[in-house]
Amino acid sequence: MEKKMKSLVPILHPSQVVNHGISQRVIDDALGSLSNFFESAMEEKKIFLSDDVKKPVRFGTSRSNGKVSRDFIKLYANPIEDWIGLWPHDPTDFRENVGKYASEVRRLGIDIMGAVTESLGLSPTYLRNSLEQGMHILVANTYPQCSPTSKILGLPPHTDHSIITFLLESTSGLEIMDFTDSSAWKSIPAVKGTLKVIVGSHLEVLSNGMYKSVFHRATPSPRLSRVSVASFLSLRMGETVEPAVELVDEEHPQKYRATSLDEFFNHLSSNEERPYIDCLKI
């Protein structure tokens, strides 16, 4: 175990996954239904308008430099049969198309997390039961076409709260901060049919810092509007995540305190200025 802990290099950048088993039709149908939802009348979308960060279905708008920078819809998706009846029903294929993508990306995520925990020297089933019963939240975003000179950000710099996040994009817009290159912002191009895998803060905690959450932001396209879908896989709302005991010893002391998804939402609602992950460091 000690040898594995020493040899693992912290993962700082998102990975792109191909041959993931989700068909291009499922991807295109999900993006198409989401695009149609965002293009629908505001009266339809306002039904889901809320400032409650814990609401299972929530529509909202963000602003940057005084202008609208994105619209978003947040959807609880596990168990999907408990939540899908609350999702938008306009367009009429929304629940079917987005629901099918949600189920398939969750399956993929649980499989990939088996490889992640195994890379830490843990069992590939270490988190399986917790993730199968855990939270799956989809956040779909639309970003308007915008000139680079406007200095508008679709999403400001942040790390994800999740164990792991899967990002699907209609066009490029993800930028990450490369701390190995003078903290430069670098664009990660969108490749048709691929998904980006982003390490979240809760995986950083679980791995005791052996995996690092990705500091990233979203930028609008100067050529066309952009739609993205982030799939956040986490433990249950009140279930705590903390460094695995197998990864803590005298040479590798515990670096993070225990936390939960519920605590993250409380942090999001507070006026705390420090990044969430910084609040967890010991």
Look up residue 18 and give its amino acid: V
**pLDDT tens-digit profile of 8-39?**
444 445 788 889 999 999 999 999 999 999 99
Q: What is the mean pLDDT of residues 193-213?
A: 96
Q: Considering only CA atoms, which of 277, 267, 271, 146 is closest in space to residue 218?
A: 146
Q: Determine the 3-state secondary structure of 44 from DSSP.
A: helix
- The residues that bridge with 141 in the sheet, in sequence order, are 72, 228
Model-level pTM greater than 0.85? yes
Peptide bond into 10 cis (omega under 30): no
pLDDT at 217: 95
What value does the mean pLDDT of the chain take?
92
Order of strands, sheet of 174-178, starting from the edge strand that comes earlier in the sequence: 155-158, 216-218, 174-178, 184-187
Mean pLDDT of 57-61: 96
pLDDT tens readout for residues 105-124: 999 999 999 999 999 999 99
Instruction: Identify whether the C-beta of residue 204 lies closer than 8 Å to the C-beta of residue 273.
Output: no
What are 171's two structure tokens? 């066009």
Write the CATH number of the domain with boundaries 1-236: 2.60.120.330
